[in-house]
Amino acid sequence: MVEANIIDEASRLVRDALNVGFDEAAVEIIETVESQIRFSNNSIDIAKRWISRRINVFVAKDGRMAVSTFEDAKVAQRSLGKLRSYITLLPIHKNYTRLPKGPFRYEKIDGIYDPKIAELSDKAVDMVNSTIASALNAGARRVAGSLRWGVNKIGLATSRDVQTDTKETFIYVDVRAFVNSEATGHGDRCSRLLSDFEPEEAGRESGEVARMSTKRGKIDPGVYDTIFHHAAVANILNNIAMAASAFYVSAGFSFFKGKLGQEIASDKVTLIDNPLYPGGFGSRPFDDEGVPTRKTVIIKEGHLKTFLHNRLTAKEFNTETTANAGWISPSAWQIELKTGDSSIDELLSLISKGLVVMNATYTRFQNYQTGEFSSIIRDGVFYVENGDIKFSVRNLRLSDSFLNILKNVAEIGKEKRQIYHWWLEQGIPVIAPPILVRNVKFTAPGK
């Protein structure tokens, strides 16, 4: 349990909001103590530390709503009157519905708090140095990255009888190794518990991939069967998770618009938003409206089963909330791709001429609704012939559509892990194995 004062403070602000004339209110207070060490060229550049407190306030009156962010409870309290005057100028939200009525029972999620992370302090410098050493030992010449760790305390109170809190720790490392400027590798590890955290593994992986990338060859742009490795899968799934948010669907930013209930992916694909995953990097017991979080199957064996909702989008789409609030927009907590049976070697053996893509970054859409996009692929892009990795290639760009990729998933690996790295477009933690996708399009600059 979090200290009582964070909930008391949130509850006090809810009462203050009702006293100035709002008919609904919710207050979320997040207190964070967080640290980071950044490194490059095998050396530490800077150590950082944050002691922060954020107070998020939702208020509504007669179906008109406002969301505010403060850092001081007194400032928040003083601002309520002004918010009250602002809000009367707005029209009624056409999908307004009351906050969910509590109190609720929340599931205990194991393995999301570890006091050892809070006490890491100077040992982190040694952890960074051993991560760098692992990458160098695996063949890298230069190593860069960041180690970040901390504690979040979150308290939530609403005018509909919700008073709850959670405490979580986190630690993650992002490593990029270089043999030269074009032979690079990436590694990442994240955890809620220090005992499960393996930064040296991230270092080793990045170094090995960088070393493998030194043997270079050339292939033409075109269509290739492709294995997307963990980091690349995570970014692909982040974009798919964004498209599953009902807010994005109605805003025109989703390739799932009009496709509910349809077969939109290979039958190998089952995709779940799973905020209850034990020890999950994105696990959380309640959403911002106070509703207990739950496992939500978004895609089941290729069929789009639901969008992700808060209470407002649920009303717009004539359904129930999926406990993914956001007061304005719902979003996924933690995306889990159901594993298959194939090892990496077995996936490779299914390719006669194709590619392995270790990381996909910088995704931008040509058209959100058709799902056409391109991504920069990096940190290990390998040409495969008859199941064997032959050489690394550069300057190709992943240029396809997410709907094609979903439909062309041929096999799903069995080696799942938690993935969190800097390039995740939506910052949503992912639990996934590598995947094999047939007929993926790659382009290159004109000559």
**Whole-angstrom Cα distance, residue 152 to residue 168?**
5
Minimum CB distance to other proteins, residue 110 (Å): 28
Q: Minimum distance from CB of 46 to other proteins (Å)?
A: 5
Shorter beta-carbon distance to other proteins: residue 50 or 161:
50
Distance CA 324, CA 316 (A): 15
Q: Which of 262, 352, 366, 386 binds other proteins (CB under 8 A)?
A: 366
Minimum CB–partner distance for residue 352 and other proteins (Å): 26
Stretch that binds other proteins, among 35-43, 107-115, 265-273, 408-416 (CB under 8 A): 35-43
Token digits of residue 394: 């550069």
Among 137, 352, 367, 386, binds other proteins (CB under 8 A): 367
Residue 410 is classified by DSSP as E
Using the contact rule CB under 8 A, the part of the chain among 34-42, 236-244, 299-307, 408-416 near other proteins is 34-42
Give the footprint of other proteins on residues 290-319 (CB under 8 A): none
CB 188 within 8 A of CB 202: yes
Q: Find the binding residues for other proteins in span 95-134 (CB under 8 A).
A: 95, 122, 125, 129
User: Does 154 engage in binding with other proteins (CB under 8 A)?
Assistant: no
Residue 202: strand, helix, or coil: helix
Q: Is 217 in the site for other proteins (CB under 8 A)?
A: no
Q: Say if residues 374 and 415 touch (Cβ distance below 8 Å).
A: no
Our CB check for other proteins shows the closer of 250 and 339 to be 250
In a 3-state reduction of DSSP, which class is residue 401?
A: strand
141 binds other proteins (CB under 8 A): no
Q: Which of 96, 165, 160, 166 lies closest to 289, judged by CA?
A: 160
User: What is the dihedral sign for C-alpha 174, 180, 182, 184?
Assistant: negative
**Near other proteins in 160-199, by CB under 8 A:** 174-176, 178, 181-182
Among 304, 224, 275, CA closest to 430: 275
DSSP string over 84-112: HHHHTTSPPPTT--PPPP-----PPPTT-
**Minimum separation from the CB atom of position 316 to other proteins (A):** 9
Which residues inside 40-99 make contact with other proteins, applying CB under 8 A?
A: 40-53, 64-72, 75-76, 79, 83, 86-87, 89-91, 93-95
* Least distance (Å) between residue 117 CB and other proteins: 17
Helices (H) and strands (E) in the chain, counts: 10, 19
262 binds other proteins (CB under 8 A): no
